Each structure stands twice: as C-alpha cells, then as structure tokens.
C-alpha cells in the first residue's frame, strides 16, 4: 500500500515522476453531467506553471493537460463528465539531460533522497523523481475537476508572508493577487518581496512563505466526524504538499493564546441559518462546516535546493558535500498557491458528495 490516492468519495490517484515521460491523475467518483473541457482545466495549470517569472524555476513546461477518459458529448451537444474515471495526462517536456551523478551517489540535505532510499532501497534520482513538486501539477488538474463539483463555492488563495515579511490586511485587494508574480494581495508587500526573493535567487539561497486560502459560500453541514472531519482532511491535504511544515484552521496557534471569551464566535439570527459575529474557528466546528468562510494557513519551508554546499553522506555512507546545481524555485511557497487552492477544492468537493451520500 503506497496510498497515492486521496479522497473518500471523489477520489484521485496521481502517478508520475519529475523526469519520466508524463505525469497524471485519475479522478474517480465525479458526478456525471458536469460540463468539462481541457480549456476549463488549463488555466489552473497555467497559474502553477514554472518559468513565468525570474522568481520561479526556469524549467519550461507547457503543462498541457489531456483528458483521456470519462468525458463524452452529452445529448445536449456539450462535453460532459460521464461518471466514469477521468484520466488526465500531462507530458513532461523539459527534462533537461543534465548530469545526475552527484545526486545519484549522495543525499541532498532537506530533500527526500535519503528517506526514499531507506524505504525503497533505491530511487529515481532525476529531479527528485516522485518526490518532486512537479507532481503537484497533477493535483492542480484534479482540483480543476473538483471545482466543477462545487461551482457555488469561491476559493481564494494568496501568499501572506515571504521570508518573514507579512502583508498588511489594510492593503488587502483580491484583484492585486493576479497582478504580481507572488500571488500577493498587498501591492506594497509585493514590491518588497521582489527584492527579498531576488536576493535569495541571486545568492543561491531560498526563503519560506505562508499561504492562506479562504473558501466562501460553503454550506453548513459538510464534514464527516470523527475521523473524516473537514479540518482534519484539510490538514492532511495541506501537510501533504511538498515543503509544507505547518497548517492552521481559523486562528490556529494564535487561538491557543486567547481566552474563551476572546475566542468565542457568537451568533445572531440570520437569513439562512445563524449569522456569526466572528470566525475564530475558520468556518469549522466539530469537524463540520458552519457556513462561515473556511480558512486555512499553510507554512512552506524555504526550498532545500541551495548553492551553499552542505555536509552530507553518500549512498555508501561516506562523508561528502553537496549543493544544488539545477534549476529551482528560490521560494517554493509562491507556486504553492494554486496547489493549496486545488487541495481545498478537492477536500470540499469530496465532502459535498460524502454529505449527500449519508444525509441526502
């Protein structure tokens, strides 16, 4: 059991390595009859695509998605999901034929190299193989399908902090997110981050980031307590993204410093269910959505690929030093935004169907 499948009802399975011929996802359990087309998936892949600014890796991948199954022209002449598995494939194009003898022989600190060898006995070392962030393209494609299932829900992800420099919520402008290469909703912060990330890039260093994601218009009642809680599934979804080391729902760790009075989310009568006067809980209580915005914060560590040589060991257990020659993101959290959004969509869509199955 290698658990390359995620989800309870809407399940997707990903496959593929960084430098293999292709990567892909099989999305199973999607309701039939949803309008779908490559053109509805591609924009999300484009948002994640590398090589679009100097602040991300220069690997050039068109990331063109192909739908190989599960879609057919419905009687109304529109291409729709049929209810059978949707196979999505993305060919790898820019597998630069570089010399991998260094990483074949020794373990890059901070990477999964040693862990994979310890587990499997050997590993596909080219570009990180299966543990490469390249695999997240498959998640983004699957997430685009999930969005079709929850078309009433809005999902907004953005970077709120890079290298310890945080946005000012007073400057928050959703329209700004698409205008800069950092998915940053604060134009002033974006300007500052240019220097931070560029300095890291030039010096062969890297910086961390925090990504936030908010889903609005999620109805109350989604979530499967006690071991498929909405927040627990979100935590797994986010912590499973490459380079993620922390996840918060609502106030997260800050809630641990509040009193019960400060942390309360009182209610008053509203038009559709209660109106909440605060949302410390991040839209989830007892593992079930409350109808408030579902909010999650995700910490990305700095990219482990840096130019400073690090002490490490070879496969044979001898001391050596390694640094990363290849192309890489100086701040891997930036391109994490479309991935965080995709995982949010996948968890929510799954729970919509899960809820419908049990509660009708």
Q: How far is the CB of 175 from its own copies (least distance, A)?
A: 25
Q: Is 345 in the site for its own copies (CB under 8 A)?
A: no
What is the biggest distance separating any 2 CA atoms in the chain, rounded to whole angstroms? 68
Instruction: By CB under 8 A, name the one of 192, 301, 325, 327 that touches its own copies.
Output: 301
- Distance, CA of 221 to CA of 164 (rounded, Å): 36
Kindly report the number of other CB atoms within 10 A of residue 286's CB atom: 12
Q: Is 293 in the site for its own copies (CB under 8 A)?
A: no
Instruction: By CB under 8 A, name the one of 103, 280, 335, 341 that touches its own copies.
Output: 280
Instruction: By CB under 8 A, name the one of 36, 235, 334, 342 that touches its own copies.
Output: 235
User: For its own copies, which is the closer residue by CB, 179 or 198?
Assistant: 198
Instruction: By CB under 8 A, name the one of 48, 123, 147, 335 that touches its own copies.
Output: 123
Q: Is 295 in the site for its own copies (CB under 8 A)?
A: no
Q: If you search the block for the tokens 């994490």, which residue do you land on? A: 336
# binding residues, its own copies (CB under 8 A): 155
The DSSP call for residue 250 is T
Structure tokens at 60: 């050039």
User: For its own copies, which is the closer residue by CB, 179 or 335?
Assistant: 335
Q: Is 252 annotated as a binding residue?
A: no
96 and 19 in contact (C-beta within 8 Å)? no
State the number of CA atoms in the 13 A half-sphere of 275 facing the CB. Answer: 5
- Distance, CA of 204 to CA of 281 (rounded, Å): 39
Q: Is 20 annotated as a binding residue?
A: no
| Orientation angle between helical segments 336-359 and 230-239, nearest 10 degrees | 150
| Orientation angle between helical segments 38-48 and 136-149, nearest 10 degrees | 130
Write each residue from 172 to 211 as x if it is in contact with its own copies (CB under 8 A), else as -, in one continuous string. Answer: ----------------------------x----xxxxxx-
Q: How far is the CB of 168 from its own copies (least distance, A)?
A: 17
Kindly report the number of other CB atoms within 10 A of residue 266's CB atom: 9
Instruction: By CB under 8 A, name the one of 145, 189, 306, 348 that touches its own copies.
Output: 306
Q: How far is the CB of 337 from its own copies (least distance, A)?
A: 14
Q: Is 78 in the site for its own copies (CB under 8 A)?
A: no
Instruction: By CB under 8 A, name the one of 51, 181, 274, 326 that touches its own copies.
Output: 274
Structure tokens at 302: 């700095």
52, with CB counted inside 10 A (0-12, 13-18, 19+), is middle
Q: Is 54 annotated as a binding residue?
A: yes
Q: Is 147 annotated as a binding residue?
A: no
- Distance, CA of 104 to CA of 294 (rounded, Å): 43
Q: Is 9 in the site for its own copies (CB under 8 A)?
A: yes
**Which residues fall in the annotated binding site?**
48, 54, 130-132, 242-243, 286, 301-305, 327
Binding residues for FMN: 130-132, 242-243, 286, 301-305, 327
């Amino acid at each position: 059991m290698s658990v390359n499948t995620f989800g309870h009802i809407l399940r997707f399975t990903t496959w593929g390595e960084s430098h293999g011929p292709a990567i892909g996802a099989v999305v199973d359990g999607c309701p039939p009859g949803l309008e779908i087309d490559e053109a509805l998936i591609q924009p999300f892949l484009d948002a994640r695509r590398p090589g679009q600014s100097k602040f991300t890796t220069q690997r050039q991948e068109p990331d063109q998605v192909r739908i190989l199954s599960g879609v057919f022209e419905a009687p109304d002449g529109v291409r729709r999901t049929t209810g059978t598995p949707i196979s999505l494939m993305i060919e790898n194009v820019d597998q630069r034929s570089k010399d991998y003898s260094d990483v074949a022989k020794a373990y890059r600190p901070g990477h999964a190299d040693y862990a994979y060898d310890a587990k499997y006995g050997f590993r596909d070392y080219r570009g990180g193989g299966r543990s490469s962030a390249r695999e997240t393209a498959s998640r983004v494609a699957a997430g685009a399908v999930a969005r079709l299932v929850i078309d009433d829900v809005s999902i907004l992800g953005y970077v709120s902090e890079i290298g310890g420099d945080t946005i000012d919520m007073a400057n928050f402008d959703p329209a700004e997110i698409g205008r800069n290469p950092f998915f940053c909703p604060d134009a002033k912060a974006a300007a500052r981050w240019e220097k931070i990330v560029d300095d890291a890039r030039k010096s062969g260093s890297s910086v961390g980031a925090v990504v936030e994601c908010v889903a609005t218009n999620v109805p109350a009642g989604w979530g499967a307590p006690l071991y498929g809680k909405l927040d627990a599934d979100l935590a797994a979804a986010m912590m499973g993204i490459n380079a993620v080391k922390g996840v918060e729902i609502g106030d997260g760790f800050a809630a641990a410093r509040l009193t019960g009075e400060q942390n309360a989310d009182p209610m008053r009568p509203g038009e559709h269910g209660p109106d909440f006067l605060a949302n410390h809980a991040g839209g989830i209580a007892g593992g079930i959505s409350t109808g408030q915005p579902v909010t999650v914060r995700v910490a990305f560590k700095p990219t482990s690929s840096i130019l400073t040589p690090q002490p490490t060991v070879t496969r044979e257990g001898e001391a050596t030093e390694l640094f990363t020659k290849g192309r890489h993101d100086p701040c891997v959290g930036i391109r994490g935004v479309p991935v965080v959004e995709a995982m949010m969509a996948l968890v929510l869509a799954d729970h919509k169907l899960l809820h419908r199955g049990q509660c009708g």
